[in-house]
Amino acid sequence: MHEAAIVESALELILAKAEEHQLTKIRRITAKVGELSGALPDAMQFVFQNASQGTIAEGSDFIIEQVEATASCGSCDITFPILYYHPVCPSCGGLDNQVLTGYELYIDTMEGD
């Protein structure tokens, strides 16, 4: 399960940020995880609950916002959701489309004391 490595990396940067801002307790973390990022929010939650134990992030709310995968078709000038990595334009059936969202995998905000 590579979410373990992803969450460990996330924790590392959260704790470093907390130190930078002199926080001694983290209460809330928000993350953006795109549908194309290859990371499962449920698996990330599970790992986070375990990995954060014994750190200042233990017991914090870890809120993962899933970002829908979307693409735009240059010929039809429309934006459409991508289903299962198939960026097929629903209007013209074209495949040469620009992926706009879905690859996000980042920590957005955190709150603490």
Partner 1 sequence: MSSVKVVTNILKVNDELTQENKKLMNEKGLYVINLMSSPGSGKTSILEKVIAKLKDEVKIAVIEGDLYTTKDAERIEAQGVQVVQINTEGGCHLDGQMIRNALSHLNLDETNLLVIENVGNLICPASFKLGEDLIITVLSTTEGNDKPLKYPRMFEKSEFVILNKVDLVPYTNFNKDEFHKDIREINPRAKVIETSCVTGQGIDELCSWLKEKISISNPV
Q: CB of 61 within 8 A of CB of 28?
A: yes
- What three-state secondary structure class fits 7? helix
Q: Tell me how far apart the alpha carbons of residues 80 and 61 are, in angstroms, rounded to a whole number.
A: 32
CA distance 51 to 57: 9
With beta carbons less than 8 A apart as the criterion, state whether 43 and 3 touch.
Answer: yes
| Residue 6 touching partner 1 (CB under 8 A) | yes
Q: Which residues from 32-91 bind partner 1, rule CB under 8 A?
A: 36-39, 84-86, 88
Stretch that binds partner 1, among 48-56, 73-81, 104-112 (CB under 8 A): 104-112
CB of 78 to partner 1, least distance (A): 18
Q: Which listed residue (61, 90, 95, 98) binds partner 1 by CB under 8 A?
A: 95
- Residues within the interface to partner 1 (CB under 8 A): 1-2, 5-6, 9-10, 12-14, 17-18, 21, 23, 27, 31, 36-39, 84-86, 88, 95-96, 105-113
